Structure 1
Amino acid sequence: MDTLRGRLLVATPAIESGPFTRSVVFLLDHDGDGALGVIVNRPLESDVDDVLPDWANLVNAPVCLFDGGPVAMDSALALGVIAGPKDEQSAPPIGWRQMAGRVGLVDLEGPVPSRGEFTGLRVFAGYAGWGPGQLEDEIDEGAWLVIDARDEDLVSPQPETLWREVLRRLDTDARFLTTFPDDPSAN
């Protein structure tokens, strides 16, 4: 399987419980050693200002931490969407490392970037990880749909609606998953 780095994993109703139910995951890395990503549609109650006060004014609304996944929830990582197109001529912001297109990891221990360097910034507690072949097996079993990511998916001002929004973009019958009830037993 080619790398899925920079794409979205969208949970199907086959994932009935746990941290990935109706999740949208942005894949930061995917190769023969496994995969790593962050859930982009799970805001937490904690404000960024409480944990990283210097960064709070750079984070997009909602200005809170996001549950990035069940691994290392006591650590934080940030994704930033740079303001301009990424090309060889322009220097990236200090502390930004490209993951895909204009999206990259931001070093939270480095200098705080100036306003305007990013069109979007989000801070995640934890991440999602898969061992070698594990994600591919889950995709084959129908647990995940792989969909092209848009920069705005990563910094959506309404992350609670992102799962349905991303599925509605599909031109296949999978878009009808948006009508699947939250609790099928109540149907």
Structure 2
Amino acid sequence: MPKDYTFEDLKPGILLLAEPFLDEPVFHRTVILLCEHSSSHSFGLVLNHPQDAILDSIREEKVMEEIPLYTGGPVDQTILQFIHRRPDLITGGQEISPGLFWAGDFEQAIEAIINQQIEFKDIKFFVGYSGWSAGQLEREVKSDSWMLEPATLDYVFDETPESLWRKVLYQKGGNYRILSTYPDDPTLN
């Protein structure tokens, strides 16, 4: 594991940033919000892969405006989840980082959107998720596949998906700042 990470750093509320040379197209330059981490499994949602689809396209009830969807990861594209920063409007969520909640009462979330009480800058919906079996994520971090950074509300909700990976690395400073400028395809230099 990189010397600036420990196994205790893997916990809900941590961002996993794919290293720039990760040879896995599905995770190319992804930023994953870790929502659960235990000795039996790990689970997270990709923050920077918006879909062309909208929530109405996967729900039978068509009463909402165009709610954007994100691909949470390659596992089980039938599962719909959400994160938010509005516990005053959506009860039952699990706080995974200060002010950042995973899940909660889905119907309350939809009602708050319909009633224009909540904006899309405060909530994100995901289909699918990213998952790891026991010890798998630790091994991947140890092999330098992922870099870690605590999630902030700005990173999760305010940064554009296209710039999120670079922005987080740049703000980490030092050698990470250099990595943030590395081209997508170095052969084109």
With the shorter chain as reference, the TM-score category is 0.7 to 0.9
Which of residues 137, 142, 149 is equivalent to 2:144? 142
Distance 1:162 1:118, change over 3 A: closer
Contact 1:7-1:146 within 8 A present in 2 as well: yes
Distance 1:117 1:40, change over 3 A: closer
Distance 1:132 1:169, change over 3 A: same
Which of residues 103, 113, 131 is equivalent to 1:129? 131
Higher strand fraction: Structure 1 or Structure 2? 1
Matched, 1:71 2:53: no
* SS of residue in 2 equivalent to 1:13: coil
* Cα distance in 1 for residues equivalent to 2:126 and 2:22: 22
* Cα distance in 1 for residues equivalent to 2:79 and 2:105: 11
Read off the aligned partner of 1:129 and give its amino acid letter: G
* Counterpart in the other structure of 1:99: 96
Root-mean-square deviation (CA, aligned residues, Å) is: 2.4
* Counterpart in the other structure of 1:88: none
* SS of residue in 2 equivalent to 1:110: helix
Matched, 1:51 2:44: no
Distance 1:55 1:186, change over 3 A: same
Contact 1:81-1:119 within 8 A present in 2 as well: no
* Counterpart in the other structure of 2:34: 27
* Cα distance in 2 for residues equivalent to 1:105 and 1:29: 10
Contact 2:91-2:105 within 8 A present in 1 as well: no
Higher helix fraction: Structure 1 or Structure 2? 2
Extract unaligned runs of 5+ from structure 1. 58-62, 84-90
Q: Residues 148-169 of structure 1: CA distance to partner in whole angstroms, max 9, x if unpaired? A: 1111222235211111111111
Distance 1:129 1:13, change over 3 A: same
* Cα distance in 1 for residues equivalent to 2:181 and 2:119: 38
TM-score (norm 2): 0.81
Question: Identity across aligned pairs (percent)?
Answer: 28
TM-superposed deviation, 1:143: 0.8
Which of residues 48, 71, 87 is equivalent to 1:41? 48
* Cα distance in 2 for residues equivalent to 1:156 and 1:73: 25
Read off the aligned partner of 1:23 and give its amino acid letter: T
Distance 1:36 1:177, change over 3 A: same
Read off the aligned partner of 1:145 and give its amino acid letter: M
Contact 1:14-1:142 within 8 A present in 2 as well: no
Contact 1:25-1:39 within 8 A present in 2 as well: yes
TM-score (norm 1): 0.82
* SS of residue in 1 equivalent to 2:172: coil
